[in-house]
Amino acid sequence: MGKNKSCDKSTREVIIKLRRKNWSYKKIADHLQCSKTMVFHAVKHFDTYQTTSNVPRVPKQRKTTPRDDRNIVRMAKQNPFKGSNELRKEYFGENNPSAISARTIRRRLVEEKLHGRIARKVPMLKLCHRQARLAFARKYENWTVRQWKNVLFSDETKINRVCSDGKRYVRRPPNTAFDPKYTKVTLKHGGGNVKIWGCFSGHGVGPVKLIEGNMDQFQYKNILEETMLPYAEGVLPVIWTFQHDNDPKHTARTVKEFLTAQSVSVLDWPANSPDLNPIENLWFEVKKKVSNTQCGNLRELYDVFLEEQKRPCSSKTFFKVFYFMCSC
């Protein structure tokens, strides 16, 4: 037998029988090939409970009362950003006679399903921003699928040659963090990337344009004049709407004057609005396909992007987006 302090019912019965024959603890331990501690605890168990069977253990008494628990939960709900240690000090004080730990506070909160989580980051919205969001939703809540199909959505995106900028999760065994099989390869200067402007509507995916360097209002205006406008006039009906967000280069005077001169109707877009642009769905699908291709340089990366972007994308996917927008 091992060095365990406890034993089963049959072993206890043998120990008690031998003990009644005045066997010593050491002699019993040698006979049963167990530790003297086990023999001692078996005898003590029988002397205490007058049985060789296991007895139900008395549950450990909670250090907090039901009233304490209610107050702790109430304080946490009043200020969700307070840590367990702050709650402990605020409620029990610096001199804690009951030795309540921060871990105990966390257990009480978890019992009420108040788990600690990382707070999501959201833009700081003023009252005017909230009002603009609500006005936008009310203005377009009754738009039909046909109306949304005639909106040309546009945006810019960046595609990395090696890997995405974000975190990448991996499932790995313990102590294998630096195993090449489970690591994310990076290059000293990131491997480079290409920036692309694109557009699409319910009539199909539009052209894309490679952005040279950092795009300013003048390069953006040229893209609208040379790429966007010819496509829109050739594909979209007479009455159509152009959409772009409130990026400074999009709202620059040069761009506004050009769109006004060309009589282009622009979809009003509230400031600090959630990213509702359905073109993000297009970028996501194309990037997912491009990520499965090894590109030797940036030109090859751009060519792969063009090839994937020109593939006949599933019309059902895009129509689902429009139906979803109409049902919101």
Task: State pLDDT tens for residues 216-272.
Answer: 999 999 999 999 999 999 999 999 999 999 999 999 999 999 999 999 999 998 887
- Both 39 and 139 in one domain: the answer is no
Give the contacts of 287 (CB within 8 A, at least 6 positions apart): 157, 159
- Average of pLDDT values for 180-206? 75
The full DSSP string for 166-206 is S-------TT-TT-GGGPPP--TTTT-EEEEEEEEETTEEE
275, containing H or E segment:
none
Asked which of 108-112, 147-151, 271-275 is least confident by mean pLDDT, the reply is 271-275
**Same-domain check for residues 26 and 73:** no
Here the tokens at position 253 are: 């005077």
Model-level pTM? 0.61
> Are 198 and 279 a contacting pair, CB within 8 Å?
yes
Identify the band that residue 203 occupies on the pLDDT scale cut at 50, 70 and 90: confident
Give the pLDDT confidence score for residue 297 in this predicted structure: 58
Domain contains 233: yes
**Rounded-to-integer distance, Cα 300 and Cα 156, Å:** 19
Q: Are residues 154 and 76 in the same domain?
A: no
CA angle 135, 141, 145 (to 5 degrees): 140
Is residue 42 located within the same domain as residue 71?
Answer: no
Number of domains into which the chain is organized: 3
Torsion, Cα of 67, 71, 77, 79 (10° steps): -170
Range of the domain at 295: 128-327
Give the residue from 245, 238, 295 showing the smallest Cα distance to 275. 245
Does residue 294 or residue 86 have the better pLDDT?
Answer: 86
- Long-range CB contacts for residues 66-72, cutoff 8 Å, separation at least 24: 68/108, 69/108, 69/111, 72/105, 72/108, 72/109
- Is residue 234 located within the same domain as residue 106? no
Whether 2 is covered by a domain: the verdict is no
**Does 122 fall in a domain?**
no
* Cα(298)–Cα(190) distance, integer angstroms: 12
pLDDT digits (tens, 9 = 90+) for 3-33: 556 788 899 999 999 999 999 999 999 999 8
Pairing relationship of beta strands 204-211 and 265-266 according to DSSP bridges: unpaired
